[in-house]
Structure 1
Amino acid sequence: MGNKGISVTGLVWGFAFFLLPLHSAYGDVSYSFPEEMKRGSVIGNIAKDLGLEARILSARKARIDTEGNQKRYCDINLTTGDLIVAERIDREGLCGKKASCVLNQELVLENPLELQRISLHVQDINDNYPQFKKDVIKIEIAELSVKGARFLLDEARDADIGQNTVQSYTLEGNNHFILNVNTKSGGRKNADLVLDKELDREQQQEFKLLLTSVDGGSPQRSGTVLIHVTVLDANDNAPLSIF
């Protein structure tokens, strides 16, 4: 009786033959471009970069697919082979504070079926302003506080990353306070209000100071907050005799 089973070798070759049409013949391609480009903006010419002739794209029903549940952020011009922006790309909304923001898409070609992976590296632009949590920072300082006393101020936050986030703070000129700027882990910066000259409530009961945070982007963007300092009274004056 002849052997009617399928040999292991036959299975391997059959499996390889099935996968062959899915093989990526040209290699993956990646593009780096800034976020918030307008719809229709050209990212690159994917036909040229993959060694394809633009004229065959339509015949092979070229299209862009996504991985997982991602949106289709780019599309392909079947006439020119250009890869174009299809959806608004907001880096902060997609990747938050991550140093790298990569979107994976696929170019699908039929007859024969081929898949080409496309990696979109989205670069940050300076499109956010530094912001404080509150409009006013209220601080109470005892009248007898010594020179050098420090008071921690609320940190300004910026949704951008790297050089485009908060880089410095400034305080409007006054005779009693200066700023001390601190760099925290990850490069974040905050500031302390430092008493540079002793207070006298009898002379001035409150101060209104303007704190400004500035990022390092181009053009630079800034945010401001009002610091309202109330000087608390101390029993530092002896009663005066009226006689």
Structure 2
Amino acid sequence: MRRQVLLFLWLSCTIVVCGQVSYSIPEEMEKGSLVCNVAQDLGLDVKRLKSGKARLHSGDSAEFIELSRERGVLLIRERIDRETLCGETTPCALHVQMILENPMELFRITVEITDVNDNAPSFASSEKRFEISESAIVGSKFVLDKAVDADIGSNGLQSYLLKPTDHFALKLESEADGRKKVEMVLQKPLDRERERHMSLLLTAVDGGQPRMSGTMQISVNILDVNDN
């Protein structure tokens, strides 16, 4: 047992980090796509990768990145979805170690996964219904549903639009979690004798290129009061 412990300590002490490199790639790259020429960037000959039986040790990252010893490059093994991998965590990165034998060498490789605009804002429901009395006072507020967007940064949800704006205006208010409270505010009195029902459209828009959006229909039934 003592001999095994000493051997482990000896191996731990003799494996030193000989270099490290960092890369940045977009999510959703095709399987087999080139990530980098890791041999060139680390100053290694491809022959050394072969003779040293170069291999990657990467834990969960192993399913996404693979090493081609023959070419000295890293390739996409499986398509990477940043939202599935990291959610809202930033930066989103894969941490890989490349190990060579005879002599034992270790290289650290970091691959940051950047967001692409592959998700549109969406609402949990396609429609929201209100019943509003025609006696409602101007300035009355009505809370609307928030949209969600799996993308982050400029690719994430940026703004809302409400149309038409004849009777209601959109009001956005920042909340503690960074999201927006979405409300529509009555701008002028309602008259059921003139209009019994209103249809509006709430649109959530992201900031990606091209921009993507999601919509929710708003249905307003105007309730009568005995004003005649």
TM-score (norm 1): 0.85
The CA deviation string for residues 149-206 of structure 1, in whole angstroms up to 9 with x for no partner, is: 1111000000011111111111222421111122333542342111111101121111
Kindly indicate whether residue 75 of structure 2 is the aligned counterpart of residue 84 of structure 1: yes
Kindly indicate whether residue 61 of structure 2 is the aligned counterpart of residue 107 of structure 1: no
Residues 56 and 62 in structure 2, CA contact (< 8 A), matched pair in contact too:
no
Unaligned runs of 5+ in 2: 1-5
The CA deviation string for residues 208-239 of structure 1, in whole angstroms up to 9 with x for no partner, is: 111111001111100011001111222222xx
After superposition, the CA RMSD in angstroms is 1.9
Kindly indicate whether residue 210 of structure 2 is the aligned counterpart of residue 226 of structure 1: no
The aligned amino acid for 1:112 is: P
Kindly indicate whether residue 175 of structure 2 is the aligned counterpart of residue 184 of structure 1: yes
Kindly indicate whether residue 50 of structure 2 is the aligned counterpart of residue 58 of structure 1: yes
The aligned amino acid for 1:34 is: P
Query: Whose radius of gyration is greater, 1 or 2?
Result: 1
Of all paired residues, the percent bearing the same amino acid is 44
Kindly indicate whether residue 28 of structure 2 is the aligned counterpart of residue 19 of structure 1: no
Kindly indicate whether residue 201 of structure 2 is the aligned counterpart of residue 210 of structure 1: yes
Cα 1:14–1:212 shift into 2, 3 Å: closer
Instruction: Select 2:23's aligned residue among 31, 40, 52.
Output: 31
Alignment match, 1:43: 35
Cα 1:189–1:71 shift into 2, 3 Å: farther
Instruction: Select 2:134's aligned residue among 125, 128, 143.
Output: 143
**Residue 82 of structure 1, CA deviation:** 1.5
Instruction: Give the secondary-structure state (helix, strand or coil) at the position aligned to 1:94.
Output: helix
Alignment match, 2:146: 155
Residues 64 and 72 in structure 1, CA contact (< 8 A), matched pair in contact too:
no
1: CA distance, partners of 2:143 / 2:94: 39
Instruction: Give the secondary-structure state (helix, strand or coil) at the position aligned to 2:90.
Output: coil
Cα 1:106–1:39 shift into 2, 3 Å: same
Alignment match, 1:197: 188
The aligned amino acid for 2:15 is: L
The aligned amino acid for 1:63 is: R
1: CA distance, partners of 2:41 / 2:17: 14
Instruction: Give the secondary-structure state (helix, strand or coil) at the position aligned to 2:30.
Output: coil
1: CA distance, partners of 2:63 / 2:107: 15
Q: Which runs of 4+ in 1 moved over 3 A?
A: 13-21
Instruction: Give the secondary-structure state (helix, strand or coil) at the position aligned to 1:39.
Output: coil
Alignment match, 1:5: none
Instruction: Give the secondary-structure state (helix, strand or coil) at the position aligned to 2:85.
Output: helix
Alignment match, 2:63: 72
